[in-house]
């Protein structure tokens, strides 16, 4: 806050003299700031990959105490094995902190990287594509690898995954007279069971009104968001319009609803409070359900196929991102190799319930967690969520429009989103 | 607080009078230096760098002053203001939302602060300091804590809706309802779609019909939050001004038979005009920069009806990694606030200058009509003064 006082003295000389010393001070500080900001000179390629004893910092956004504890344990185990100290730093706002660190040329040695951030950082040459040379590169699920590929290179190793599946309240299912033969395999059956499960005070199906849920219907109808080469947005295709029209028909028949209409913030409380019998959600719901709604018994099922028989779902994943500016590049890559071993991935899964990203662990997972097997199997036909660099505003607009799907035309929603996202893709191509 | 020294004191510091040694000069500068250094380091330099970022192609990696970053002209400003597209539309939406926010918050909080100050300074009030503390308490509470509490209060099944149901009103789902209040009112009298001339033309990518939509229901909840939080601060600013009104003036008014309503409007309000200008200026600056409550509660949803330029700048920079455009939005907001404050100052000053008798009605009318009324009222006052003083008709 500053007081505005009218300048009474008009003589420029006096004004200039008055401002001379502060301006000089500013100039000095500006020069010092500029001088102190050049990045450290990079080492030659061969010596850079040799691990040294410098400590490694891992920066991540935690889903809770279980994940922080698991990462801490992994860091300690690595230190025991190699003697390289690991600082595990949970971040309150990973996007912001990472941006700040990159701007200051001091990024952490290792961090969680989501597919959209990869698309934003990779073109700037900020990341080191170590994953090409990992020994177990062929073991990762292809759908996960595709989310982390830029310019034909795999930049980082997927650490885990979460897919969308159908979670059904067992008591409501039985009460409606449905059996295990009735789990929906296609859209017609989905609408039929949703109708049967809709009673007074309870809808059949609930999910978030955002593209990170409703896109599953687009893929099931045989449509997609981007074309095969990833250069054009194809949201306004006929298949996509068919998909959203189907969702709209369920909304209009009041056998499906969005959480806000039921005064819930999310689909998970809607299931917990028995305002719905089925939700489309992911493995993260299990933690919340066991904490807040332990008495609700539910089961996991794959999402139904579309009219053409195509199965589709979304997969959400993060990878271990490594920046180019790294004072222990070799040590960091050794740490990532340690973190992507089957033993370490098993420890992560047991600690906070994520799905492993290595295909060889699928039989172990299905035998240890048989009830969650559909979640892992969905990786075979899962597509990554929309991850175009700079798409936050366009996606927010798309989600806002989807919230009105019950009353707006699917064609207009999709063409508006098409225009906005294509503009973002074009902007990325020209490097704007 | 950074106070620009007046010209005479500045001159005296640089050219010592006889008897004043260089030691006094040096001492003065040394005392100023820490505050000066902090302001330069944390305000002037970052603002300068942000201005450079808005006209350069800095991508967020490394320093903006590094070798690879170069000038790209005003492309970011053009993309936000003139080129049709999502960036322009979002900027237009943020300006519209914040305009209604300012329109409701500033007059109501100024008026409420003045009323509270009058109530608290009334003679014979028992437990005066308790009431002062109670009214000021929201202002010293963390804005984050208040925002979290409000998000629970205004949820679909929250306390506010429960209280409304006692009087038979079914409250809306506050933070998820994007419908504009003005359009809701028009819809209640049967006007559902705007006239073609309003729907087909617009400004900044938003049609005029959408500009007239009014604040959304979600924005209204944020407006209530802002009024409740900041009235206390401005009440504290009004209190000394009220104490400065000598008791004789009030007694004279009572002797002349003025009711307390007339006393308030005809004596109290004109006598606190300089303080009111300060409160209006601070209020305008603060409300145009709204960020905290939006970031905590709504993040611009629903449907972009709670976007503000400050939040849009943050989202464009940090989430979309488009630093130049985010910085451009921030500077456009800066320019807008300067223009608005200058307009408010011109309007209040011109009223004082012309000494018009209808100052208070003009104050109320111009506040209700918003920005257009400000300019129109000032121009009308000048025209009236000119016509009155020398008789020629000035349009």
- Contact A156/A318 with Cβ under 8 angstroms? no
- Provide the residue range defining the domain that includes B123: 87-180+215-390
Q: In this structure, what CATH number is given to the domain that contains residue B145?
A: 1.10.3720.10
Rounded to two decimals, what is the model's pTM?
0.79
Does A139 share its domain with A84?
yes
- Do B14 and A18 make contact, defined as CB atoms within 8 angstroms? yes
pLDDT in the model for residue A21: 57
How far does B48 lie from chain A, in Å, by closest CA? 10
Q: In this structure, what CATH number is given to the domain that contains residue A145?
A: 3.40.190.10
Does A332 share its domain with A209?
no
pLDDT in the model for residue A31: 52
- Do A400 and B44 make contact, defined as CB atoms within 8 angstroms? no
Please report residues of B whose CB lies closer than 8 A to that of A7.
Answer: 7
Report the number of distinct structural domains present in chain A.
Answer: 2
Is B262 among the domain residues?
yes
Is A17 among the domain residues?
no
Does A193 share its domain with A225?
yes
Does A414 share its domain with A275?
yes
Sort A6 into a burial class: Cβ within 10 Å, 0-12 / 13-18 / 19+: exposed
Does A308 share its domain with A232?
yes
Does A342 share its domain with A203?
no
Does A122 share its domain with A155?
yes
Reading the block at residue B101, the tokens are 């926010």
Is A242 among the domain residues?
yes
Does A261 share its domain with A402?
yes
pLDDT tens digits in sequence order for chain A, 432 residues long: 445 444 554 555 566 556 655 555 555 555 544 444 444 444 444 567 888 889 999 999 987 788 899 999 999 999 999 999 999 999 988 999 999 999 999 999 999 999 999 998 998 899 999 998 899 999 999 989 989 999 889 999 999 999 999 999 999 999 999 998 999 999 999 999 999 999 988 999 999 999 999 999 999 999 999 988 878 999 999 999 999 999 999 999 999 999 888 878 788 989 999 999 999 999 888 888 888 899 999 999 999 999 989 999 999 999 999 999 999 999 999 999 999 999 999 999 988 888 999 999 999 999 999 989 999 999 889 999 998 888 888 888 888 889 889 888 999 999 989 988 998 888 777 654
Does A262 share its domain with A409?
yes
For residue A226, which phi and psi values (nearest 5 degrees)? -110, 160
Is A237 among the domain residues?
yes
A16 sits in the region (left: phi over 0; alpha: psi -120 to 50; else beta) called: alpha
Is A9 among the domain residues?
no
- Contact A137/A295 with Cβ under 8 angstroms? no
Does A273 share its domain with A408?
yes
Does A238 share its domain with A329?
no
- Do A103 and B61 make contact, defined as CB atoms within 8 angstroms? yes
Is B29 among the domain residues?
no
Does A294 share its domain with A420?
yes
- Do A7 and B319 make contact, defined as CB atoms within 8 angstroms? no
- Provide the residue range defining the domain that includes A286: 165-315+386-429
Please report residues of A whose CB lies closer than 8 A to that of B63.
Answer: 33-34, 37-38, 103, 105
For residue B163, which phi and psi values (nearest 5 degrees)? -65, -40
Report the number of distinct structural domains present in chain B.
Answer: 1
Please report residues of A whose CB lies closer than 8 A to that of B10.
Answer: 9, 14, 18
Is B261 among the domain residues?
yes
Of A2, A34, A105, the CB nearest to B2: A2
- Contact A216/A276 with Cβ under 8 angstroms? no
How far does B157 lie from chain A, in Å, by closest CA? 6
Instruction: Please report the number of interchain residue pairs, chain A to chain B, with beta-carbon separation below 8 angstroms.
Output: 128
Of A3, A26, A125, the CB nearest to B44: A26
pLDDT in the model for residue B361: 47
């Amino acid at each position: 806050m500053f007081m505005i006082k009218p300048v009474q003295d008009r003589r420029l000389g006096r004004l200039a003299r008055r401002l001379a010393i502060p301006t000089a001070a500013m100039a000095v500080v500006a020069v010092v700031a500029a001088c102190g900001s050049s990045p450290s000179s990079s080492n030659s390629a061969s010596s850079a990959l040799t691990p040294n004893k410098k400590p490694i910092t891992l920066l991540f956004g935690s889903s809770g105490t279980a994940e922080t504890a698991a990462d801490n344990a992994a860091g300690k185990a690595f230190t025991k094995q190699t003697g390289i100290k690991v600082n595990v730093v949970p971040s309150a706002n990973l996007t912001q902190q990472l941006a700040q660190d990159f701007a200051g040329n001091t990024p952490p040695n290792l961090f969680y990287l989501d597919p959209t951030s990869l698309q934003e950082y990779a073109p700037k040459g900020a990341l080191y594509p170590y994953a090409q040379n990992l020994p177990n590169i062929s073991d990762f699920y292809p759908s996960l690898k595709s989310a982390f590929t830029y310019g034909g290179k795999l930049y980082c190793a997927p650490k885990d995954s979460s897919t969308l599946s159908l979670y059904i309240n067992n008591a409501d299912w039985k009460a409606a007279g449905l059996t295990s033969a009735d789990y929906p395999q296609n859209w017609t059956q989905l609408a039929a069971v949703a109708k049967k499960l809709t009673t007074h005070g309870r809808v059949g199906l609930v999910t978030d009104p955002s593209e990170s849920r409703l896109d599953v219907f687009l893929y099931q109808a045989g449509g997609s968001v981007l074309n095969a080469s990833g250069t054009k947005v194809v949201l306004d295709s006929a298949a996509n319009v068919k998909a959203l029209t189907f969702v709209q028909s369920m909304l209009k028949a009041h056998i499906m609803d969005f959480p806000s209409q039921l005064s819930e913030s999310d689909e998970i409380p809607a299931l917990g409070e028995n305002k719905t019998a089925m939700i489309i959600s992911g493995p993260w719901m299990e933690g919340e359900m066991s904490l807040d709604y332990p008495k609700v018994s539910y089961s996991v099922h794959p999402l139904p196929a579309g009219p053409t028989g195509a199965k589709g779902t979304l997969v959400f994943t993060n990878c271990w991102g490594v920046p180019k500016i790294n004072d222990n590049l070799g040590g960091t890559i050794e740490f990532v190799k340690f973190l992507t071993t089957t033993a370490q991935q098993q420890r992560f899964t047991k600690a906070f319930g994520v799905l492993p990203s290595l295909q060889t662990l699928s039989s172990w997972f299905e035998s240890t967690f048989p009830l969650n097997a559909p979640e892992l199997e969905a990786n075979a036909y899962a597509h990554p969520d929309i991850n175009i660099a700079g798409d936050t505003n366009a996606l927010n607009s798309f989600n806002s429009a989807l919230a009105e799907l019950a009353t707006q035309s699917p064609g207009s929603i999709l063409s508006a989103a098409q225009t906005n996202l294509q503009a973002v893709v074009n902007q990325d191509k020209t490097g704007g | 607080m950074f106070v620009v020294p007046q010209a005479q004191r500045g001159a005296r510091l640089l050219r010592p009078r006889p008897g004043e040694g260089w030691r006094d000069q040096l001492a003065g500068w040394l005392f100023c230096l820490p505050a000066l250094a902090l302001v330069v380091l944390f305000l002037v330099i970052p603002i300068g760098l942000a201005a450079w970022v808005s006209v350069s192609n800095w991508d967020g990696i490394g320093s903006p002053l590094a070798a690879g970053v170069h000038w790209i002209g005003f492309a970011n400003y053009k993309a936000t203001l003139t080129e049709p597209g999502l960036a322009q539309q979002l900027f237009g939406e943020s300006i519209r939302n914040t305009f209604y926010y300012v329109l409701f918050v500033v007059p109501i909080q100024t008026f409420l602060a003045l009323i509270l100050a009058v109530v608290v300074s009334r003679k014979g009030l028992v437990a005066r300091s308790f009431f002062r503390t109670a009214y000021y308490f929201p202002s010293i509470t963390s804005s984050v804590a208040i925002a979290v509490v409000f998000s629970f209060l205004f949820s679909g099944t929250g306390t506010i809706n429960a209280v409304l149901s006692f009087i038979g009103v079914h409250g809306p789902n506050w933070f998820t309802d994007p419908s504009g209040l003005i359009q809701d009112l028009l819809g209640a009298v049967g006007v559902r779609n705007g006239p073609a001339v309003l729907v087909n033309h617009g400004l900044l990518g938003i049609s005029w019909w959408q500009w007239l939509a009014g604040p959304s229901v979600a924005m209204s909840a944020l407006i209530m939050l802002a009024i409740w939080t900041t009235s206390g601060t401005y009440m504290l600013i009004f209190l000394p001004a009220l104490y400065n009104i000598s008791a004789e003036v009030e007694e004279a008014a009572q002797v002349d038979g003025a009711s307390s309503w007339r006393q308030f409007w005809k004596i109290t309000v004109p006598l606190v005009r300089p303080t009111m200008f300060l409160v209006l200026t601070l209020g305008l600056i603060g409300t145009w920069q709204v960020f905290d409550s939006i970031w905590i509660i709504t993040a611009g949803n629903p449907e972009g009806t709670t976007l503000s330029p400050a939040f849009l700048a943050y989202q464009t920079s940090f989430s979309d990694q488009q630093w130049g455009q985010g910085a451009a939005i921030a500077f456009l907001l800066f320019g807008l606030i300067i223009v608005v404050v200058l307009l408010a100052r011109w309007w209040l000053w011109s009223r004082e200058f012309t000494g018009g008798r209808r100052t208070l009605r003009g104050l109320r009318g111009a506040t209700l009509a918003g920005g257009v009324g400000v300019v129109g009222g000032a121009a009308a006052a000048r025209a009236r003064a000119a016509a009155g003083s020398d008789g020629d008709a000035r349009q």
